[in-house]
Amino acid sequence: MRKFWRFIGKLVLWFFMLSIGMTLVYKFVPVYITPLMVIRMIDQASDDQRKIKLKKDWVPMDKISKHMAQAVVASEDQKFMDHFGFDMEAINKALEENQSGGRIRGGSTISNQTAKNVFLWPGRNYLRKGLEAYFTLLIELLWSKERIMEVYLNIIETGDGIYGVEAAAQAFYHKPAVDLTRQEAAMIAAVLPNPLRWSPSKPTAYNYQRQSWILKNMNNLHPVGLGK
C-alpha cells in the first residue's frame, strides 16, 4: 500500500508540474492545435464522404478587430473583465434551473471555454468539469485577461473545420479579422453556440435576432479595450 500511495503521489506531482509548465508555455507560445481539432479531424477521416479540413491562422490581439472581443463578451461572458474565471451568479442560476428540471445554461465563462479548448476533451462528466475548473484557475493566475481573450479568439470553433476569428473572417467575409465591422463580429459571435449548424455566410432568422441582441449589449457594455 505504501508503494501504491507513493506512486499515486508521484503521478499527482507530475500532473501539477506538467500542467503548470504547459500553462506557462502557452502564456507566450501560440496554441496551434487543440484536442477538439484532433477529434474533429479523426471524425472527418472516418467519414469517406468528407475531406479532412483544418483552417486556422493565429494572429496576435492587435491584428483582431476590437469589435470581436466586445462581441464575444457581450454574447458569452459580460463579466469577463471583472471575474476570476467563474461567474458565480450565472452558476447559481444554472444550478437553480437544473434543480427545477430545466436545462443548465449560462454558467460557462470565456475563461472556462478557453481552458477547456486548450487542455481538455469535450465532455460533461465530473472529472472533466473538475479539470476545467483547475485549468481555469491556472490561466487566470498565470495569464492576463488579454492573453485569455487572444487564445480564445484564435482557437474557438467557428465553422466546419474552421477555428479562430482570422480563419472565420477570411472564410465568411473575405477579409482579415482586424477589419471586421461591428455587425460582422456580432454575427460570428451569434453562431458560436453551434458553429457546425449555423454559418455567418448563411444566417438564419434566429442568427439575425441573436446578432441584434449582441449589438445592443455591445453598446450597453463598457468598452473591453482589447483588439485594434
State the pLDDT confidence band at 98, using cuts at 50, 70 and 90: low
Output the nine-digit C-alpha cell for 125: 462528466
Give mean pLDDT, residues 80-96.
80
CATH 1.10.3720.10 assigned to 2-220? no
CA angle, 108 then 109 then 114, to 5°: 105
What pLDDT is recorded for position 19? 97
DSSP states along 52-121? ---EE----GGGS-HHHHHHHHHHH-TTTTTSSS--HHHHHHHHHHHHTT----S---HHHHHHHHHH--
How far apart CA 62 and CA 180 sit, in angstroms, is: 13
Give mean pLDDT, residues 187-208.
97
For residue range 113-153, list pLDDT tens digits in order. Answer: 999 999 998 888 889 999 999 999 999 999 999 999 999 99
How far apart CA 41 and CA 171 sit, in angstroms, is: 18
Handedness of CA 53, 195, 201, 149 (dihedral sign): negative
What pLDDT is recorded for position 122? 86
Q: Decide: 20 and 137 in contact? Cβ < 8 Å.
A: no
Q: Which of 86-90, 124-128, 160-164, 193-197 has the lowest mean pLDDT?
A: 86-90
For residue range 203-217, list pLDDT tens digits in order. Answer: 999 999 999 999 999
Question: Which has the closest alpha carbon to 65: 214, 178, 148?
Answer: 178
How far apart CA 173 and CA 39 sit, in angstroms, is: 27
pTM given for the model:
0.91
102 pLDDT above the threshold of 60: no
List the beta bridge partners of residue 130: none
